[in-house]
Amino acid sequence: MTSLITETRPAPVCGLDTWVPVAAEIISINEENFNTLTFKMRFVEETHRENYRFLPGQFNMLYVPGIGEAAISISSDPEETDTIDHTIRVAGSVTRAIQQLDVGGVVGIRGPFGRGWPLEAIKGKDVVIVAGGIGLAPMRPTIYSLLRNRKDFGRVMLLYGCRSPDDRVFAPQLDQWTEDASIQVLVTVDNATGGWVGPVGVVTNLLQRIRVDARKTVVLVCGPPILNRVAAWQFLQLHVPPEQVYISLERNMNCGFGRCGHCQYGRKFVCTDGPVFPFDEIAEVFGKKEV
Ligand SMILES: Cc1cc2nc3c(=O)[nH]c(=O)nc-3n(C[C@H](O)[C@H](O)[C@H](O)COP(=O)(O)OP(=O)(O)OC[C@H]3O[C@@H](n4cnc5c(N)ncnc54)[C@H](O)[C@@H]3O)c2cc1C
Ligand code: FES
């Protein structure tokens, strides 16, 4: 069976001139944890606000003049078309420069780029979302979409792990989703600080707590490489077919639209063929070092 991904991608906001960033203003900043902030941004020009659409799992290239660009997932609700959220952890020069901006600051945006999660094609399936740390960022638009179209899917489960309770991103939403009977939410931490009474241990341990009907389950994974590897492996062991296990990969990006070759991964470009891949498409290189 081939990939379930069939969605038509929205056009980049910068039109055909895909190298030219479009200005967006920061309208609010939310502190997620000690090194991660969510920036709500709005395009300065109304035409861009009207035309910009994205699919859950896609990313933008964010530009800070004089510093450079970084690939950042879109973390807002795709139905919220006036603004776009980016949840950013400091990794190096660009992310640090963005974190130093205040409300009213302006960044450049190119995008949306890439292939998102196959939400249309997986209708009728049970969906297990596995996320680690900031890997919940590209999952949040997905969860909003799944909940909005809840009757189109079977059981929906979210397994989320992070270092400590204070490291959670989107903590208020996690609490809200936990209260929502239409999604099963399990959160685990490596270190149970501050009176944490929930599960402790790596996120893949949570698999023991859910029921997986292998043939009708689709798995969506986003986290650090070790989590991606272990989660994919465990679901394959449970006989979930490889074309139903999707992983969002990170690679060093430059152009974002398949021209420069920076993001090459085996025979694929992560910026255009991914970042979301069904396991069968990347099986030959997945988990290998120096690919
Ligand atoms: C599809 C996709 C989606 C992404 N989504 C998000 C997201 O939603 N949020 C987010 O925060 N990130 C996201 N990333 C990751 C982000 O693009 C990278 O972390 C990016 O490299 C950050 O750019 P930067 O200039 O801040 O860091 P860079 O300068 O590129 O630094 C990146 C890495 O290099 C190391 N490094 C930097 N400078 C040095 C140095 N002088 N010596 C040694 N090591 C160094 C850093 O420690 C870090 O590990 C995503 C990446 C991809 C591909
Ligand atoms: S980032 Fe240029 S080809 Fe992917």
Give me the pLDDT at residue 16, please.
63
What residues contact 282, with CB distance under 8 A and at least 6 apart?
247, 249, 265, 266, 268
Give me the pLDDT at residue 258, please.
93
C-alpha 215 to ligand 1 mean position (Å): 36
- Cβ < 6 A, ligand 1 pocket: 59, 68, 70-73, 87-89, 91-95, 134, 137, 250-251, 253, 275
- The Cα–Cα gap between 12 and 211 comes to 39
- The Cα–Cα gap between 58 and 248 comes to 10
- Mean pLDDT in the chain? 93
Q: Phi and psi dihedrals of 97, rounded to 5?
A: -65, -40
C-alpha 95 to ligand 1 mean position (Å): 7
Q: Average pLDDT in the 86-102 region?
A: 97
pLDDT per residue as tens digits for the range 280-290 = 999 988 877 76
Residue 1 has pLDDT above 50, yes or no: no
Residue 125 has pLDDT above 70, yes or no: yes
Please report which ligand is nearest the Cα atom of 270. 2
Please report which ligand is nearest the Cα atom of 19. 2
Residue 91 has pLDDT above 90, yes or no: yes
C-alpha 102 to ligand 1 mean position (Å): 20
